[in-house]
Chain A
Amino acid sequence: MPQPVLRLHSIVKRFCTVTAVDRVDLTIERGEFFALLGPSGSGKTTLLRIIAGLELPDLGTVEISGRNVTHLPPYARHIGMVFQNFLLFPHKTAAENIVFPLRMQRLPRAARDERLAWAMKLMRLQGLEDRYPNEMSGGQQQRVALARGLISRPALLLLDEPLANLDRELRSEMEVEIRRYQKELEIPFVYVTHNQEEALTMSDRIAVMRNGGFEQVGAKTEIYTNPATVFVAGFVGHANRFEARLVEFNGELARIEWKGTSMLVPRPRDATPGAAIQFAIKYEDLEVARGVNGFDPTNRNWLTGRLRDVIFKGQTANYIVVLEDGTDIVVSGDPHGLDLKPADSVVVHWPITRGNCFEL
């Protein structure tokens, strides 16, 4: 059994009265792309800074490659880090920035130059060696920052919202690039982001953070399709949410009642009939049809309403449907397939096995 690269053991960090990180345990294996996903203030950056050695945890231990580094300073941990605002050294050229970690390790010049050439090629930065940071574009600066983080082949690379300052197009390009570097180098990445799309695109595993603790840790498909809590269901993906009452169990399903409508939904974990529950269903799990005759209703739930608007998104469109009681439901679907106009009466339907149910 190989050593995990990173092991956190019940890390606690408080700032005055605020608990920024609350008893976090985490193990990251070799070659893993791990995302820490959470809203701002959820403690993800503090956790990253604890791993880096920039903050000392109040309790708990940090192990990197089997070594307890809890009380070691950052420069003794052999890690790399990439920051949101790049933080290149403004008085050093791109090449000087990139070889900085190697110079600190006192690597001989020849080896340094060889590694520099490798990193410049990997990051497609050839020809920019002598540029100063202020003479490069945001994307180039970010690639220099990545090269600096990776050049010493650290045990672990920490990334703190590295794409947040880039424009949208560049961001999606860099998402693919960063994942490519990670897979090529097999260095585990810990990637902090508040952007669920980034986390879903790039990572293998995701931890969803909230109020300093982990809400759910798991493979990204697991997080997406089987959220463990109401919070995860609301934070990852886009979901419609119904606050309903659990009526009875029906095998793997449960019957719930929402505003007088009865629906069959996947069975919630540990709830008893009569309990208040929340049913969350992702936009893309819903379908919209012209009328009750427009689809086969077996094993499906359906609600009738009136189309309010269609928001064209490119590959998909969001159909906003107002139910009879005034509730808005969003359905993500084919932007061209349905010839619907606002104010048309429609039916929203979905398979009874879709969606997630949580006790409130």
Chain B
Amino acid sequence: MSGLEERRRWLSIARRPGVRFAFLVAPGALFILIALVLPLLSIVVFSFWRTQSYELYADWNLNNYRALLGEPAYRIFFLRSLFTAAIVSFVSLAIAWPVAYLIAKHGGRYRLLLVLLLAAPFFTGVILRITALQGLFGPIGVINMALNMFGMGPIGVLMYTQFAAGIGLVYLYVPFMITAIYLSLVNFNFELLEVAKINGAHPWRAFIEITWPLNWIGTVIGLVLVFIPCLASAVTQRFLGGPQATSFGMSLSLQFGETGTWALGSAMGVFLFLASLIVILAAGRSINLKRSGFTGALDR
């Protein structure tokens, strides 16, 4: 009798909306807590500690941040990464828009196949792909070897320069941009362009007035998906960039590897996290849902 009472009581608690919500949210929240928040918190904690001879000491100080902001090398690395990420994002944008537009509008029944082909590079690892580019651009790479055969000198700008690293980054991240813009365009009603044209808009005007604003969310997502990994990127620069291309990410990974200065590395990580956060917030602010043609209910 009392067992039944007990069960009823528990059931009625479980049916409360708040409890139900908690049950639904719990798995995701737990995952984020363990996989993201806790490691991040530990990084934040480490960033205020001290490393000596590859050991972490818990004496709280701000020296890591002082070094990070005070030493010109880090500033240069960061600005270089920022600049690279910006250029790579915009180059990717310029490549991705026409490709995504072509697939979405004229891909017909091959649309899905074409988009899935964008995943082809991911069949191999990042390192392998970058090494392949190295084999293409390097002094004894395919391009310069071929030039050599015809008696021409190698293209210097492709050999271990920031430019080469930039090409590598565009190659690595442009599929994300294309996918983001494509997904936006498949939901775009191309008939609206006919309406714009009938109402007197030239094709480029119709693009600016209709296509671009209605696909802004996809574009922003693409920009973020390219910009943020580029900001933190280390491997590409290391393989393709040569000595002049040391990035913030490269320097950061050195702190956790060769130099063993975990505390400084953590401070760099926190800095990178904050920079990315600012980028995401700015991107989010640029989106006015109504002006993006969002058709769901907003505040009703």
List residues of A whose CB falls within 8 A of some B CB: 52-54, 73-75, 77-81, 83, 87, 89-91, 100-101, 104-105, 132, 134, 148, 152
* Chain B residue nearest in CB terms to A133: B295
Shortest distance between the CB of A15 and any CB in chain B (Å):
15
* Structural contact, A104 and B195, CB atoms closer than 8 A: no
Shortest distance between the CB of B186 and any CB in chain A (Å):
16
List residues of B whose CB falls within 8 A of some A CB: 189, 191-192, 194-202, 205, 209-210, 213-214, 290-295
Partner of B213, one of A53, A75, A91, A101: A91
Given contacts A101-B200, A152-B200, contact A83 B195 (CB under 8 A): yes
* Structural contact, A75 and B201, CB atoms closer than 8 A: yes
Give Cα A105 to B205, complex, Å. Answer: 12
* Structural contact, A100 and B291, CB atoms closer than 8 A: no
* Structural contact, A52 and B198, CB atoms closer than 8 A: yes
* Structural contact, B199 and A100, CB atoms closer than 8 A: yes
* Structural contact, A75 and B194, CB atoms closer than 8 A: no
Partner of B295, one of A54, A90, A100, A105: A90
* Chain B residue nearest in CB terms to A148: B199
* Structural contact, B205 and A80, CB atoms closer than 8 A: no
* Structural contact, A104 and B192, CB atoms closer than 8 A: no
Kindly list chain A residues whose C-beta atoms are within 8 Å of the C-beta of B191: 83, 87
Partner of A87, one of B192, B209, B291, B294: B192
* Structural contact, B197 and A90, CB atoms closer than 8 A: no
* Structural contact, B198 and A105, CB atoms closer than 8 A: no
Question: In the complex, given contacts A75-B199, A91-B213, what are 10 additional A-B residue pairs having Cβ atoms less than 8 angstroms apart?
Answer: A54-B197, A73-B197, A74-B198, A75-B201, A79-B198, A87-B189, A89-B192, A89-B210, A132-B290, A152-B199
* Structural contact, A91 and B291, CB atoms closer than 8 A: yes
Shortest distance between the CB of A44 and any CB in chain B (Å):
17
Kindly list chain A residues whose C-beta atoms are within 8 Å of the C-beta of B292: 91
Shortest distance between the CB of B243 and any CB in chain A (Å):
48
* Structural contact, A81 and B198, CB atoms closer than 8 A: yes
The total number of A-B Cβ pairs within 8 Å is: 62
* Chain A residue nearest in CB terms to B195: A87
- 18 example contacts (A-B, Cβ-Cβ < 8 A) are as follows A52-B198, A54-B194, A74-B197, A74-B198, A75-B199, A78-B200, A81-B198, A83-B191, A83-B195, A87-B189, A89-B196, A90-B293, A90-B295, A100-B196, A101-B200, A104-B196, A104-B205, A105-B200
Shortest distance between the CB of B128 and any CB in chain A (Å):
43
Give Cα A54 to B201, complex, Å. Answer: 13
* Structural contact, A91 and B198, CB atoms closer than 8 A: no
* Chain A residue nearest in CB terms to B213: A91
Kindly list chain B residues whose C-beta atoms are within 8 Å of the C-beta of A79: 198
Give Cα A75 to B201, complex, Å. Answer: 6
Give Cα A87 to B209, complex, Å. Answer: 15
Give Cα A52 to B196, complex, Å. Answer: 12
Give Cα A287 to B250, complex, Å. Answer: 95
* Structural contact, B214 and A54, CB atoms closer than 8 A: no
Kindly list chain A residues whose C-beta atoms are within 8 Å of the C-beta of B194: 54, 74
Give Cα A79 to B192, complex, Å. Answer: 16
Give Cα A341 to B192, complex, Å. Answer: 56
* Structural contact, B198 and A75, CB atoms closer than 8 A: yes
Kindly list chain A residues whose C-beta atoms are within 8 Å of the C-beta of B209: 89, 100
* Structural contact, B198 and A90, CB atoms closer than 8 A: no
Which of A80, A100, A152 counts the most B-chain CB atoms under 10 A from its CB?
Answer: A100
Give Cα A87 to B201, complex, Å. Answer: 15
Partner of A75, one of B192, B200, B214: B200
Kindly list chain A residues whose C-beta atoms are within 8 Å of the C-beta of B290: 91, 132
Kindly list chain B residues whose C-beta atoms are within 8 Å of the C-beta of A52: 198
Kindly list chain B residues whose C-beta atoms are within 8 Å of the C-beta of A101: 199-200
Kindly list chain B residues whose C-beta atoms are within 8 Å of the C-beta of A83: 191, 195
Shortest distance between the CB of A132 and any CB in chain B (Å):
6
* Chain A residue nearest in CB terms to B191: A87
Give Cα A79 to B195, complex, Å. Answer: 11
Which of A53, A77, A91, A132 counts the most B-chain CB atoms under 10 A from its CB?
Answer: A91
Shortest distance between the CB of B294 and any CB in chain A (Å):
8
Given contacts A87-B189, A90-B293, A91-B290, contact A75 B197 (CB under 8 A): yes
